Amino acid sequence: MIKDIHRAIDELYSEMVDIRRYLHQYPELSFHEIETATFISDFYEKLGIPYQEKFGGNGVIATLKGGKPGKTIALRADFDALPIQEENDVPYKSKIDGVMHACGHDGHTAVLLTLAKAIQPFQSELPGTIKFLHQYAEEQVPGGAKPMIEAGALNEVDAIFGTHLWATTPLGVLQTSKNAFMAGADDFEIIIQGQGGHGAQPHHTKDAIVIGSQVVSELQKIVSRRIDPLATAVITIGVFEAGDAFNIIADKARLTGTVRYLRKDVQKQVKKEMETIIKGVCIGNDATYTLNYNDGYPPLINHEKEADLVLQSANKIPEIHKAEEIIPEMAGEDFAYYMMERPGAYFFTGAQIENHEFPHHHPKFDIDERALPIAAKTLIQAYFDYQEEHK
């Protein structure tokens, strides 16, 4: 039966691409995915597959109960977009000014919808139950995964799998990890209050730019000199705002950035060291500060057995020529919350366009659409293999 489902996925390839391109043209930002959620609900309505909308927010969950006994497995796809102006010159370019599917979530949605359509004719032969979990707001903390879980998205679910179309991994390559796979992702804001004045009289000021620059430099020493070299951490300052004129010394500076980590003890140490360093620099310069540190998504830790199952399942997909374990990716993903509740695994499906090496969240981001059926086949193969292992 699995080969017949794979064949059905191939037969629906054109529709899969059409869905992806339609959603790409009409992206919606996190927590504002009203029309996209309606599109998803309408799709299941036409198929006659039972679904729940407005689940934990803008989420949609469809349930296909097989005719044979088995486990209940959730397959997840996210569907929000980003505040980016698209720069691709393609027929399916975003029609919404300043909003773009720059991370492949349109493709994730197309994969799950088409997979549901491909499977439905085999429902009577299907072991167990599939939950098609369409999640909103992955891109923006606090995200959609946690409220959907709190609303009962994982009730009666035995395991969960998900994939991310990965634009910097070659087509035909599947990647995952049997442990930490993606990083915890926090954000912070630092406000430094000095004393402004005339650019010709620096001795009468407390230069917030100089103080802020010292803070930036010192924070990098946390990773290079305070954290165990065998541990992993990233501290990035993404914004430094200060000053209004070339001849005025700024009285205030605002810095924002992100911290990435794989272990909670490292996160705790970074937070402590940041406070110590910022306080020390400001005291030394007779300035004051405010540090606002926000915990984001936790690290995504795959379950070893389920991740190994994904690798074995991938080897059964003819279009996949390499299934490999990789070191963790330091991007964040709120799929992490599902992994804290149920066994499962998350994996990358290679979707790189040849000679188009633009990363995720880039204005020229795009994917090789031939990756869509590969993702669908791998998800359903993992589903069947899990059922076989847990008879």
CATH number at residue 200: 3.30.70.360
Share of the chain above pLDDT 70, in %: 100
- Using the predicted structure, report yes or no on whether residue 316 has a pLDDT greater than 90: yes
| Average pLDDT taken over every residue of the chain | 97
pLDDT tens, residue by residue, 41-84 = 999 999 999 999 999 999 999 999 999 999 999 999 999 999 99
Q: Which residue from 130, 132, 110 is spatially nearest to 13, judged by alpha carbons? A: 110
Question: Could you tell me which residues come within 8 angstroms of residue 155 by beta carbon, excluding any fewer than 6 positions away?
Answer: none
**Arithmetic mean of pLDDT, 338-359:** 96
The predicted pLDDT at position 391 comes to: 87
The predicted pLDDT at position 186 comes to: 98
Pair 366, 167: CB distance under 8 Å: yes
Q: Which domain holds residue 282?
A: 184-297
Rounded Cα distance between 65 and 63, Å, is 6
Rounded Cα distance between 74 and 69, Å, is 16
The predicted pLDDT at position 350 comes to: 98
- Using the predicted structure, report yes or no on whether residue 357 has a pLDDT greater than 90: no
Three-point CA angle 370, 18, 338, nearest 5°? 70
Do residues 170 and 202 both lie within one domain? no
Rounded Cα distance between 194 and 210, Å, is 10
Do residues 177 and 238 both lie within one domain? no
Pair 149, 341: CB distance under 8 Å: yes
**Arithmetic mean of pLDDT, 355-370:** 96
The predicted pLDDT at position 374 comes to: 98
**Arithmetic mean of pLDDT, 263-273:** 97
Task: Give residue for tokens 């010709």.
Answer: 200
CATH number at residue 72: 3.40.630.10
Which of 297, 331, 359 lies at the terminal end of a domain, its last residue? 297
The residues annotated with a catalytic role in the active site are 80, 138
Pair 255, 216: CB distance under 8 Å: yes
Q: What is the dihedral of CA 356, 233, 164, 84, to 10 degrees?
A: -60
Q: The whole model's pTM is what?
A: 0.94
Backbone φ and ψ of 332, nearest 5°: -100, 160
Gyration radius of the chain's alpha carbons: 24
Rounded Cα distance between 241 and 248, Å, is 14
**Arithmetic mean of pLDDT, 11-30:** 98
Do residues 165 and 226 both lie within one domain? no
Do residues 82 and 64 both lie within one domain? yes
Do residues 331 and 272 both lie within one domain? no
Do residues 131 and 155 both lie within one domain? yes
Do residues 171 and 243 both lie within one domain? no
In the chain, how many domains are there? 2
Rounded Cα distance between 85 and 62, Å, is 32
pLDDT tens, residue by residue, 167-181 = 999 999 999 999 999
pLDDT category at 288 given cuts 50, 70, 90 is very high
Rounded Cα distance between 121 and 144, Å, is 31
- Using the predicted structure, report yes or no on whether residue 35 has a pLDDT greater than 90: yes
Q: Is the peptide bond before 142 cis (omega within 30 degrees of 0)?
A: yes
Burial 270-304 (b: 16+ CB within 10 A, else e): bbebbeebbeebbeebebebeeeeeebbbbbbbbe
The predicted pLDDT at position 157 comes to: 98
**Arithmetic mean of pLDDT, 241-266:** 97
pLDDT tens, residue by residue, 218-239 = 999 999 999 999 999 999 999 9
pLDDT category at 201 given cuts 50, 70, 90 is very high
Do residues 25 and 100 both lie within one domain? yes
Do residues 139 and 204 both lie within one domain? no
**Arithmetic mean of pLDDT, 96-115:** 98
Pair 383, 130: CB distance under 8 Å: yes
Rounded Cα distance between 364 and 360, Å, is 9
HSE-CB of 355 using CA atoms within 13 angstroms: 0
One-letter amino acid for residue 17 of the chain: V
